[in-house]
Amino acid sequence: MYEAFFNLRRKPFELLPNPEFLYPSRSHKKVLAYLDYGIREHSGFILLTGEVGTGKTTLIRQLIQKHLRDVLLARVFHTKVDSLHLLAMINADLGLETEDKDKPTLLRDLQDFLIAQYAKGRPVVLIIDEAQNLSPDVLEEVRMLSNLETENNKLLHIILVGQPELRRVLASPELLQFRQRIQIVCNIEPLSEDEIEHYIQYRLEAAGNKNAIELEPECFSIIHGYSRGIPRLINILCDYILLDAFANETRTVTAAAIQEIAQDLSFNSQYWESLPPDLPEIREKASRRDHGRQSPGKLHGVLLNFNTRLQNLEIATATRPPDHSGELRALLGAINQRMDDMGQTLDALSEIVRAAPQPEVAYADMRNVSVVELEESESEPDKEALPVPQPDGKHESWLKRLFFGHC
């Protein structure tokens, strides 16, 4: 909607896990280094955790594109399954036949496949996303997969990706052996306040225009206060910020505008269970600074205005009667032309009548003369001729007088 106004090639704050928009924060750089090291050193288990929206899936996709090009990859995203279905999904993603096979057969097929790939010098990596949904029994089955190894190397490298609760699941006593198998542990941290400005500029530049909008210095601390540094929430808030600026036809964003947008979205109650401790101070500071300024308008009003304008346009388009103005103008023109032609014809006939020889009996007196009298009059040429009325000074044609009388 607003891309053309801000000279952007695409929307900069979409929620899709696009590696092109992955901002290399300090935490992301460290996690990528850990993951790359774990794969290169043939580590068994790698554990990656992070809050919802911190970019775990995007980071994994970048890892696949840039660091795992020569690696055979199996990915599992649906984790609310039992051990049999999990094993079947792993084999299917590796291209193995799984139909009508029991667990021992699936395990044997997987082991044979891993040995064949190891002989070719091709590592195999298994990524299990949303691993916090795995039950302890299924996690134990995953641990057993790490036993597929040679004397020197693991045949299967496993990366578990999940939310912070995954660590709490693994902390249970029954999973002690599992925890001891984990060699690399890394966690994606939210962005710090000083990274917010760079994050926004990075995504705007990736979308085509680094200078699309100008945010006041206080805006970044407010955005961090509401989002708490979670990239997904930053994207949601910034997308509405661009929409509000577009609706008000401005490229400058104030702290007051962001406050209004967040309040209209009920941002804290929508995305957080509690208010961040630093947010009231931020709100008070921004309110004092922007006191007396004209705000760009609440987001709710902006969206209602868009919706109303669209509805009115649809109604006007649907109920507008057909436009016959062109046909009416053409018809009126034809009528006027026809009347002009008739007037000219009447004038011409009037001239012809005046120039013709006058009849012996005037038309005005013929109305009271019978046919017999007319014949007698014609047979007696010696009788005195009746007076012939002459045209008056108005020069009216006889046809006009016949139809309209004297004017």
Q: Is the same domain home to 159 and 271?
A: no
**Amino acid 64: pLDDT:** 83
Q: Is the same domain home to 38 and 150?
A: yes
**Amino acid 87: pLDDT:** 95
133 and 79 in contact (C-beta within 8 Å)?
yes
For 25, residues 6+ apart whose C-beta sits below 8 A from its C-beta are 189, 191, 195, 199
pLDDT band at 287 (very low <50, low <70, confident <90, very high): very low
pLDDT band at 4 (very low <50, low <70, confident <90, very high): very high
Q: Phi, psi at residue 304, to the nearest 5°? A: -65, -40
Q: Is the same domain home to 297 and 394?
A: no
Residue 14 lies in a domain: no
Q: Is the same domain home to 286 and 357?
A: no
Q: Phi, psi at residue 339, to the nearest 5°? A: -65, -40
Return the SS3 of 72: strand
In the chain, the amino acid numbered 11 is K
Q: Which long-range contacts (CB under 8 A, 24 or more apart) does 75-84 make?
A: 75/126, 75/127, 75/129, 76/126, 76/127, 76/128, 76/129, 77/129, 77/130, 78/130, 79/128, 79/129, 79/130, 79/131, 79/133, 79/134, 79/138, 80/133, 81/138, 82/137, 82/138, 83/137, 83/138, 83/141
Q: Residues 259-278: pLDDT tens digits?
A: 999 999 999 989 987 655 55
Rounded to a whole number of angstroms, the CA Rg of the chain reads 46
The helix or strand, by DSSP H or E, that contains position 245, with its residue range, turns out to be helix 231-247
User: Which of 97, 94, 31, 87 shows the shortest CA–CA distance to 58?
Assistant: 31
Residue 98 lies in a domain: yes
Global confidence as pTM: 0.66
Least confident stretch, 31-40, 132-141, 239-248, 336-345: 336-345
Q: What is the extent of the structural domain holding 372? A: 325-404
Residue 12 lies in a domain: no
Query: Which residue carries 């079947």 as its tokens?
Result: 88
Question: How large is the average pLDDT for residues 199-226?
Answer: 96
Structure tokens at 44: 């068994």
Q: Could you give the C-alpha distances from 196 to 10, 99, 206, 229, 310, in angstroms and in order?
A: 20, 49, 15, 7, 35
Q: Is the same domain home to 345 and 242?
A: no
Question: How large is the average pLDDT for residues 47-53?
Answer: 95
CA 251 vs. chain centroid, Å, equals: 20
Residue 6 lies in a domain: no
Q: Is the same domain home to 358 and 290?
A: no
Q: Is the same domain home to 209 and 280?
A: yes
Q: Is the same domain home to 238 and 387?
A: no
**Amino acid 315: pLDDT:** 54
Residue 182 lies in a domain: yes
Residue 283 pLDDT exceeds 60: no
Last-in-domain residue among 282, 311, 340: 311
Residue 258 pLDDT exceeds 60: yes
**Amino acid 158: pLDDT:** 94
Q: What CATH code is carried by the domain that includes residue 164?
A: 3.40.50.300
Question: How large is the average pLDDT for residues 276-301?
Answer: 46
pLDDT band at 221 (very low <50, low <70, confident <90, very high): very high
pLDDT band at 40 (very low <50, low <70, confident <90, very high): confident
Question: How large is the average pLDDT for residues 220-248?
Answer: 96
Residue 352 lies in a domain: yes
Residue 227 lies in a domain: yes
Q: How far apart are CA 4 and CA 10, in angstroms?
A: 9
pLDDT band at 148 (very low <50, low <70, confident <90, very high): confident
Q: Is the same domain home to 49 and 142?
A: yes
253 and 216 in contact (C-beta within 8 Å)?
yes
Residue 37 lies in a domain: yes
Q: How far apart are CA 284 and CA 290, in angstroms?
A: 10
Choice between 318 and 97, residue whose per-residue pLDDT is larger: 97
Last-in-domain residue among 257, 280, 311: 311
Q: Is the same domain home to 40 and 180?
A: yes
Q: Residues 337-395: pLDDT tens digits?
A: 766 667 676 677 667 767 766 555 444 444 444 444 444 544 445 445 445 445 454 44
Last-in-domain residue among 153, 188, 223: 188
Q: Is the same domain home to 147 and 278?
A: no
Least confident stretch, 69-73, 195-199, 267-271: 69-73
Residue spans of beta strands (DSSP E) within 24-70:
45-50
Segments in 71-175 forming alpha helices (H): 83-93, 103-119, 136-145, 165-170
202 and 208 in contact (C-beta within 8 Å)?
no
Q: Is the same domain home to 101 and 244?
A: no
Choice between 126 and 68, residue whose per-residue pLDDT is larger: 126
Question: How large is the average pLDDT for residues 286-305?
Answer: 46
Count of structural domains, the chain: 3
